[in-house]
Structure 1
């Protein structure tokens, strides 16, 4: 990896957007966030905009953080990574668990370093809770994790609907449940973990919420027509299998059978082929189906983002021009 990826290792404990400091001679960070569903062209657009605006790309994809997942996660190619500085790609061990709180710490360190170079941080990815954690829409503080508790909650989630889990949360902590939509499975599960781990009612006002205004940013959401997005998903999945997804999955499993990196869509399907449980054609179809479903969930997530600027990304070149123009206008970059 290029030398600049070392920025992610800069120490910053308890970092949040609001912890990025300014001082005499230090340019206050400002950032462009490019998000959208899988196959919407985020990486390509981010790279082109970074070239046009003297930017550096910061990953916001929870699968692309892992080493050895280049094919399955759709990570930018080595050639693309060499064009402009890219950060937080392929730097976490495949067997290691990585949280949104740690992501904020790492991303803030990178953003601060990019700003010191007087470059524009361009945060690109499709993991909505990473982006919301970074911009301050999601509280991060919670008691230390208990793997037995998490295992229990995963079993409950398989057995019950998210509505039932929310009702359970409402019994344990009514005020906390009232602050979370009953259909938001991620936040419901996190809240249950906090409440059950602490054995006391959680006060949402005690949660640490970064102040978004501390990081002037412009959020751009890429939108692609459903039919075109579906076609892109088909092309992407076929390319993944043609480029060696099955071998990549085998390598990851040899490192750790339960590696978090293997939770990405496509790996379970690839391993099913290896284990003789599915044909390659069946694995392709299932991966396409799951990827389309994931893209729909991402679209739903990003539609509710407040203050986001939506860009039509059916045509990539037009989208690049629109995103660059928006950044120039809103972030005062040349």
Structure 2
């Protein structure tokens, strides 16, 4: 193992206990070699198996590493039996999944396109969870809840996004990185950092640039448009609007923060559903009411509703993951 990354750091990384600077250090370590990626994949597998057997939720460093080492030694002695099957090898060569919640790793799958000519890799993050992934070119992608990213392993710098993601794109002037959406706006970049939001139920595409430059193009845009750091482009009903914003506010979800700005009940409910992984039935009388501005961090959903009741007159009923919001 690289001396700059020890096994305790990787275990803390899997358990979501590392800082953002440590995450970046580990990302660089992952990108250094296939051997590093294999070590992390094996440790993830050890953790996953231990959780399935209802063992401790925290990885026991020494036991897990011993198990990993034994597995690795055993595999090296049985070269006639590959560690990963063919399909998994395709994905593993271009993707290392870094899950910030155990459940999200189950959304990883491989399939062929409608013409049965291409093998595609897809990661889907369910409601209430988030994930981080790193592509073969070093590009890092944070995926928000209810989001999917799909791509051809042979073309890893061209991806399709549904939902919301933050991209740190590895620079390659000869090969632009392109993000496609189903809502008529695509993003072309060389090396940059930006947030892209394109949930189908919102009927808009919103991209916010932190660093570098990006070019927007697509069937619903007359001609390519370039935006600069601190700008946000919103495509709605075939109309593209660009404005200056505090770009960092639109990617704080990566740090487990949800910022709400002047939102009605109707606008807020889908955000709450994704954030907490719940289903909310909203009284139609409340849909256009409310003007909520807040930041959600570690608050329970009950605490959230109690805060909302300080400025709005409504009742709530919580039954497991089913919630009803009613007008008084």
| TM norm structure 1 | 0.23
- The structure with the largest alpha-carbon Rg is 2
More helix by share: 1
Identify, as 1 or 2, the structure richer in strand. 2
